[in-house]
Structure 1
Amino acid sequence: MLNRRQFLLGASGAVALASVPLVFNGQSQQWLVSAFSKGQKGNGQRHFAGAFNQNGQLINAVELPARGHGSAAHPTKPGHAIMFARRPGTFLLEVDFINGAITQHVTASQGSHFFGHGIFSKDGKQLFSIENNFEQGRGEVVVRDSNNYQIIDRYDCGGVGPHECRLMPDGNTLVIANGGIKTHPNWPRKKLNLDTMSPALTYLDLSSGQVIDEFKLDNHQLSIRHLDVSAQGKVVAGLQYQGPKSDNVPLAISHHGQAQLSFLKADDVVWRSLNQYTASVCIDNVQQQVAISSPRGDLITLWDLNGDQFIRTIKMRDVAGLSLANQQVIATNGKGQVLNVRDSQRQFTHFNDIRWDNHLTTIQS
């Protein structure tokens, strides 16, 4: 494992300290966790998971066996998070960022791989990992004991290609973005069913393991990928379009108990600027706003949470990661930059020789 000093003095010779402190309001000690890569793309590239603080300092980093994707904050272990492998990876790691150590390493069952996302139960006793049972051709929520991450149960997601999930405010319902895309590790990044894909927003009862509600869009090539849930239980999800490149389609939806999904409201210019792709979704309950990142559009879009109305865009190259820390929306990108979205001066923090991966998670230190 790498501690902070070893990492900073690593083989690449690059210093990973931020050049400008982040701008936070608030006193609580929170760290931000993300997968990232260093070095030249290809054989010289190395993959890590790291945590940094509100002063823009890297706390610790651990090297990963391959590229990571999303992470989950451990609710009962300060400074700990789960790092999930990027599809079709098979590792799940519990990381202690206080000491810079991997404390548990779990491999997916034969015939399964991770989809890069998962979340803990409210009491922290269970981890729900989103997985692809590719031998049976179905997506699963795999229930794991958080002491050793051994499997307790498996629930059918009710769809193909599940991706991000979140707990609803009741603590007993999981909302799942079923992307609808069939994949297989024999063709690691190939999408096998674009003509017949069927994405859905699914609600799963954790007591019974049964799907209790499912909502689909008329356009079956709008893949539902990432989402967040407000304190009041409103779900906002970002989409990725798998249809013709010339199409201009809306790329975000909301749902709050109604009979069907609703598209967020923006003109065609806004949707076209996102280049058919969104990454992370982050709800700010205090400001009553939603932030959605688009790395292909080099943009963060801000939306009114209550009215689903577009507010404005913020330019940030290759932006993907979003998380709420100390009541501030923080963004990361593939250029090693970090931005407090509410900072009117747009003062970027820069980590040298780091390419932040797609997602960002806030943990208690």
Structure 2
Amino acid sequence: MQPMVTDQTRRKLLRAALFSAVVPVLPYGCALTRRTVARPALVGCAVTESNRYQAVVADSQGNALHTLPLPARGHGVAIHPAASQAVAFGRRPGMFMLVFDYMSGAPVKVVTAMSQRHFYGHGVYSLDGDYLYVTEGDRKTSQGIIGVYDVRHDYQKVAEFSGFGLGPHEVIIKPDGTLAIGVGGVHTYGRTALNADTMRPSLTYMSSQGKILEQVTLGDHHLSIRHLAHDGADTVLCGQQYRGTPDDYPALITMHRPGEEMITLKAEPESWARFNHYVASIAATDKWILATSPPGNCYGIWSKETLELVELAALPDASGVVVQNGVFQISSGAAKVVHERYPAPAETSVVNVQWDNHWSAI
């Protein structure tokens, strides 16, 4: 059994996030004037050279404008659809989420996990911004929970949705307000999987009131569904982590439309091997799908029409990806940002942030 989160731990987390200095970062030492002020465009988590953890607000090129210290390693970030608020979530098994103002860089509130709960690193706001849906788990059993937090009332927890399986990871919201949940199916102690032989992952669709609308599964139960994206319409993209035989390299990305079967993206086994059994961030345009793999130090691009892999590129610690103005922007833990305009050549720039895990676009 994992130890309970004590009140003393909660107080330490609160002090670490709310009373540490919030530092505005000026790229390349430039003076901040009305002419040079850049607007926030990207938010993510980062690691400093001294192995400390941050939430970072950046400009459209991926250079930091504000940094906020985190009490532990962060993972995903949710962006409010109307207000200038965002939430950074602790990496699984996380104990905190930090609410902050991305325009000023000021912390707003730290919410700590309940004593028998932990966070899985992701959450999403309702379309109207009134509620925050967060992937959580029971610390003893890994039973999956969607925690519902009332944004209008200081992020108080008002409900829990369950009954869909073990180990949910990412939750996203579709344009119609339906929640899509990547259910990993894994019972973990800390970060150690305990049920590799019996895991039951799924892609679960849920109403905003907690009703399970549909669940779909993959043929190989060792493919843990982790990360999600949608194309702005009906298609949900799923990135998997393979927990089966180490020498096997199955396909790691699928597409799904409600009421239909899963569709698997295509690549040769040696190409899937480059991903080292793990897909992190996913994004899509009307023609292309891009997915990253930090342990594989690479990213791939697929055609939505043919489902074929069209490009596989090396990038150290390839992490987050978003689409801005039709261009993929990919972050890296090596302080690089790739601007991918496939089929045109990609452009790489050096930035002032060692990006970690995921990106969210404002």
| Alignment TM-score, normalising by the size of structure 2 | 0.86
1:158 to 139, 144, 164: 164
Residue of structure 2 equivalent to 1:39: 49
Deviation at 1:272, TM superposition (A): 2.1
Structure 1 residue ranges without an equivalent (≥5): 9-15, 20-27
Residue of structure 2 equivalent to 1:347: 347
Residue of structure 2 equivalent to 1:338: 337
Asked whether the 8 Å contact 1:197–1:221 carries over to 2, the reply is yes
Q: Deviations over 1:178-204 (max 9, x none)?
A: 0111123xxx22111111111111111
- Percent of residue pairs bearing the same amino acid type: 33
Deviation at 1:345, TM superposition (A): 4.9
| 1:234–1:306 CA distance, 2 compared to 1 (3 A) | farther
Asked whether the 8 Å contact 1:90–1:114 carries over to 2, the reply is yes
Asked whether the 8 Å contact 2:184–2:226 carries over to 1, the reply is yes
Residue 186 of structure 2 corresponds to residue 181 of structure 1: yes
Asked whether the 8 Å contact 1:33–1:50 carries over to 2, the reply is yes
Q: Deviations over 1:234-291 (max 9, x none)?
A: 0111111111211121111111134421211222232222221111111123xx2111
Select between 114-123 and 315-324 the one with higher mean Cα deviation: 315-324
Write out aligned runs for 1:268-307 (5 A).
Answer: 268-285=269-286, 288-307=287-306
Select between 93-102 and 107-116 the one with higher mean Cα deviation: 93-102
Asked whether the 8 Å contact 1:33–1:71 carries over to 2, the reply is yes
What is the SS of the residue equivalent to 1:275? coil
Asked whether the 8 Å contact 2:40–2:103 carries over to 1, the reply is no
Deviation at 1:51, TM superposition (A): 1.1
Letter in 2 for 1:248: Y
1:128 to 133, 154, 160: 133
Write out aligned runs for 1:1-365 (5 A).
Answer: 1-5=20-24, 17=28, 31-40=41-50, 45-78=51-84, 80-135=85-140, 137-147=142-152, 148-156=154-162, 158-171=164-177, 173-184=178-189, 188-207=190-209, 209-285=210-286, 288-342=287-341, 344-352=344-352, 354-363=353-362
| 1:55–1:189 CA distance, 2 compared to 1 (3 A) | closer
Letter in 1 for 2:319: A
What is the SS of the residue equivalent to 1:357? strand
Q: Distance in 2 between matches of 1:149 and 1:52?
A: 25
Asked whether the 8 Å contact 2:231–2:283 carries over to 1, the reply is no
| 1:109–1:161 CA distance, 2 compared to 1 (3 A) | same
Structure 2 residue ranges without an equivalent (≥5): 1-19, 31-37
Deviation at 1:18, TM superposition (A): 9.8
Q: Distance in 1 between matches of 2:341 and 2:229?
A: 19
Letter in 2 for 1:272: A
Asked whether the 8 Å contact 1:252–1:263 carries over to 2, the reply is yes
Q: Distance in 1 between matches of 2:215 and 2:347?
A: 42
Between Structure 1 and Structure 2, how many residues are aligned? 334
Deviation at 1:305, TM superposition (A): 2.3
Q: Deviations over 1:64-114 (max 9, x none)?
A: 111100000111213x21100001121111111222211111111110010
| Alignment TM-score, normalising by the size of structure 1 | 0.86
Asked whether the 8 Å contact 2:318–2:330 carries over to 1, the reply is yes
